[in-house]
Chain A
Amino acid sequence: MYRQEPAKRVRAIDSKKHWAGVDFKQLFYPHRLNFYNTPPTTEITLDEFEQWAIDRLRILGEIESCLYRNMTAAELQDVIIKKLQKDLLPLGANSAAGGGSKFQDSKIAKQQDERRKDHYSHYTLRLAFARSEDLRKRFLATETILFKLRYNSDDTQERQAFIESLGFDWEFLSVEEKVAMREDLLAGTGTKSNEADAVFEAGFFRVDWEKVYDLVDQRKVLLRGGKAYVPESQQSSLVIAEFTARLEKALEACLLPPQVFSSRRRNRSLTISTQLTARALPRLDEDDRLIPILNHLSRGFIAPEYNTSMTATTLNGASLTAAVIDDLVQYFPMCMRQLHTTLRREKHLLHNGRLQYNLFLKGIGLSVDEALIFWRKSFSRIDDDEFQKKYRYNVRHGYGLEGTRRNYKPMSCQQILTDRRPAANQVHGCPYREVAIDNLVVGLGTMGVSDRDVIRHVREDIEAKKYHVACSRVFEHTHAKELKREKEAGGWSGGLTENIIHPNEYFTRSFGLKNPGSVEATNAIAPPASGGSGQSMEMD
């Protein structure tokens, strides 16, 4: 470590008036968890600056891709905490260090180093990700999850000490209040009667419901007059909400005019101070060492996305026309089949269904002209005039030719699962989630899936809310022969290497398998989280 001598530090303060009053001492980290309220002030080397940030970034990237795959909280905890503890960002508890002997002193030093790395890497990534709205959002989301995972894995006593150090003022219910509201308090948390006494004894506190909106979201808390009555055990959701709120505020403040960031070339060390993070960015422009690192970091944070430009290829050498869609339906995932059959039956699709299907068709390579023909012909009950008036715009909008002219990407499974759940008369969304299981089995039958075992597994997947796993399972079953052949030919391994996370991926794979040698588009998934090319984030 290259730390600066005190003498030089003093000069630095003199030269920058806005540094007056900032305390350059090494922070002591009493807790394993950190709200990152205080920016780091000591100097670290450029290598540390980069390496620490990359380590943290890898964790955040992993979190994001886990979410993408719809992992449950328990699985996430497993993957991330294991990985964390393994090598990237270890964080030891106080109890592991103890206190007293020399041996333990070195442990404490190590622990402080770990915590410093955690602290600095957080602030470096703040700098890297404060630059666009989208990056900020994702940083906020993944940092929150990281905090939550650590929080849940923290030692109970140390966690309590940490919470007390934050100094929230939560209003605890008096015993009389508690007794008077007993029934409602317990029903509000959904506590079964066998656990009721324990929950009740532990106590409740009262806060504005906005502070625990995730509990409100799940209807897991009693609301009265705008206050939420939170059981002690749910304290975590309050702490986490507070973490998110503070980080969000800090990131937003980044948009204001430049403030402090100083770096000096001498002996390759630098000082980061980013109370309000990206206020700093404009000043950074002069620095030819940090900007490339930060740019690189923010590009490294890329989720796998479906790359449409690559699929706008031709299938079997001819470009796609409206007329062949019916023949291609056999390669479609269930969600798209469902939309297609509904479209054929009703001669109409409601707005969200059109949205989902139109972009999918765009993704498989249907040109806008052909798409207009396709939709025009499909809506056979209406006249030209009505089509022009009500739907043409819609189709073209999807192709980025109207309105904001955004080049919309085909919806991923994630979007289809969560964006807009279908209402009573709509058929968009993910059938594995939205369709009652008995109806789904009928639907599977039409896809040629009647194997009892497969259906049983699909049921289990759905019960576990792993809809994409169910979909992948169906894919593997319906393509079993082809996958096997491919394996023998030395191509892909016997199954899908990964679960389906995009309907267009389903199509491309399906088409490729059933028509071997016809498509180069099979590699149309953009390479995940690598140094990043054009398909990355919109950086404005």
Chain B
Amino acid sequence: MSDPNSPKEDIALPDAPATPQEFQDADFDSASDSDSPAGKIDVKTEPQTDPPEPASPAKIEIKKEEGGDLDNIFKDEEEEDFFGDDDDADFLASEVGAVSIAPGSGPSDPQVILTFYQRLFPFRPLFQWLNHSPIPCHDFGHREFAFTLQNSAYLRYQSFPTMELLRKEILRLNPSRFEIGPIYSANPRDRKTLHKSAFHPLSKELVFDIDLTDYDEIRTCCDKANICNLCWNFITVAIKVMNAALRDDLGFKHVLWVYSGRRGAHAWICDKRARSLDDAKRRAIVNYLGLVKGGGQAGKKVNIWRPLHPHISRSLNLLKDRFENDILREQDPWRDNERAEKLLQLLPDKTLNDALRKKWDNHPSRPSLNKWADVYDVAKTGVSEGLNPARLKESREEVVLEYMYPRLDAEVSKHLNHLLKSPFCVHPQTGRVCVPIDERDLGAFDPMAAPTVLGLLGEIDAWDKAHKREEKVDDYEKTSLKPYVDYFKTFVNGLLRDEAGVKREREGNSGNSMEF
């Protein structure tokens, strides 16, 4: 059995309850006038009912949906900054005034999240990222979104023809988080009316999930959901190893790493080639990259073939440099003699182990750094005749890999139709925004300093106080979210450039064939 879409944690997912069909058939521009059923949060995002305001960006938005494709291409750039547009201003003036949030409200306060979506969430880049083109197409329209509502109900198979409709629905439902799924062969909202064979996932970014809970048995600083800068080093080095393999080996270019909001990181590989991989090929990549195998009682978890595959030896080189500092000094995993048994378990020779055990019993609490050196030193003294030095070297390599090689949550990556939390969502427990990690400067990313939703809203207030109101500045630019949004935009632009290249080539070809 198994529903491949279940998130790793403790819920199996229901099918989405039948969803409101509001957007499905109606004309998009007229729908917005009438689709305010009772109980809906009254968000005035599209003031079509207002008297015309010729210069309003919102109006451009409407035109865009009515107008021809040509208009869109040219207007697209002006609309980049729709966050500061009058819709939001209207709404905010009536609802919150300033951003100030009632004292005592936490990051999961629905009002806080709603304000975040209204003022800070980068819908436009997110749309472009998923749509692969400035003009709305099936890549976006047939894409599954899934919402986790504030009452923890889970809505699957949501889809939206345009960014504006997605944004409106998010503001209406105010989900505590939402996830992104695959592009289907048909509109996910129509799935019940379609034959099974006509509705299947076509493509999705290749995704990876690295979670620090998988490191619990080797990290000494924290456990469970807690993290600190010491254990974040595991993630940093994992990203380095993964990047090397994804780019140099598999030939992918557009790799986006995103902080998962609490204790891990997600990778989105967005190249067209990666998006169109089927399950078998995704599984092949997972197995190519996966090294640490086995469950809680598996004992030695890294067993590899020699000669080392070039991917492994390169990874080992990346890890070796950090091993002394990150593991031996900072984690110090074998200081306790009981825990040092774990190290001995990984070494090949019984006699050597006995000698080491004896030595360490005489020096309780000997630091891991010394114990690691002992392995080599004691072996050199020749206590064990049968010891094969090459085998010992291999074991030492395997220890490094076991302690530092990326531990992937394989299920997330294997299936085309697995859902993964969207970048820039707010983690409900920590209140931290799932921001992209700038891979050019991995060491600089500090998860403990990642922007929190309350902090960001405070920054808007502070900025507004310090500046005159007339100035037109996007809300996100007033906050520490700016560098992350900018990084994301740069990433998306790079992706779009490549996609456009592919498209032009295709059109160019067909153009030639049309000439008589």
- A→B interface (CB under 8 Å): 133, 184, 186-188, 190-193, 209-210, 213-214, 216-219, 222-227, 255, 350-351, 355, 359, 389-391, 393-394, 397-398, 402-404, 406, 408-409, 411, 415, 419-429, 434-439, 540
Contact = CB atoms under 8 A, between A and B. Distances in A.
A216 B251 contact: no
Contacts of A213: 280-281, 284
Contacts of B489: none
Given A213-B284, A434-B298, A540 B196 contact: yes
- Choose among B3, B152, B300 the residue with the greatest number of A CB atoms under 10 Å from its CB: B3
B152 A226 contact: no
B411 A420 contact: yes
B152 A403 contact: no
Closest 5 CB pairs between A and B?
Answer: A226-B251, A436-B299, A422-B295, A223-B249, A217-B284
B10 interface: yes
B214 A393 contact: no
Contacts of B293: 421
Interface string B6-36: 1011111111000000000000000000000
Contacts of B283: 217
B298 A436 contact: yes
B215 to A, nearest CB: 8
Contact of A226 (B12, B217, B252): B252
A133 B311 contact: no
A424 B217 contact: yes
B466 interface: no
B310 A184 contact: yes
A218 B284 CA distance: 8
A219 B288 contact: yes
B11 A393 contact: yes
A393 B313 CA distance: 46
Contact of A434 (B14, B294, B310): B294
B513 interface: no
Contact of A359 (B1, B300, B307): B1
Nearest to A227: B251
B411 to A, nearest CB: 6
Contacts of B12: 351, 355, 393-394, 397, 403
Given A216-B287, A226-B273, A434-B295, 6 more contacts: A133-B196, A190-B307, A190-B309, A192-B306, A398-B1, A424-B296
Contact of B297 (A184, A390, A435): A435
Interface in B269-320: 273, 277, 280-281, 283-285, 287-288, 293-300, 305-313
17 contacts: A187-B313, A188-B309, A209-B251, A223-B288, A224-B251, A226-B250, A355-B2, A390-B11, A394-B11, A398-B1, A403-B14, A411-B1, A415-B1, A415-B2, A420-B411, A425-B296, A426-B295
Contacts of A188: 309-310
Interface in B225-266: 248-252
Contacts of B296: 422, 424-427
Contacts of B341: none
Contacts of A411: 1
Interface of chain B: mostly helix, strand, loop or mixed: loop
B409 interface: yes
- Choose among A188, A210, A350, A398 the residue with the greatest number of B CB atoms under 10 Å from its CB: A210
A210 B287 CA distance: 14
A393 B287 contact: no
Contact of B249 (A224, A398, A402, A403): A224
Contacts of B273: 210, 226
Nearest to B211: A423
A225 B248 contact: yes
B163 interface: no
Contacts of B284: 213-214, 216-217
B80 interface: no
B48 interface: no
Contacts of A217: 283-284, 287-288
Given A217-B283, A390-B10, A191 B307 contact: yes
B307 A186 contact: yes
B232 to A, nearest CB: 18
A397 B280 CA distance: 27
Given A216-B284, A403-B15, A425 B411 contact: no
A377 B453 CA distance: 39
Nearest to B1: A408
A393 B14 CA distance: 9
A191 B310 CA distance: 12
B186 interface: no
A451 to B, nearest CB: 22
Nearest to A406: B1
Contacts of A209: 250-251
A37 to B, nearest CB: 22
Given A188-B309, A424-B296, A434-B294, A351 B9 contact: yes
B221 interface: no
Nearest to A435: B297
Contacts of B252: 226
Contacts of A423: 214, 295, 407, 409
Contacts of B193: none
A186 B294 CA distance: 28
A315 to B, nearest CB: 24
A438 B409 CA distance: 26
A421 B10 contact: no
Contact of A389 (B152, B300, B313): B152
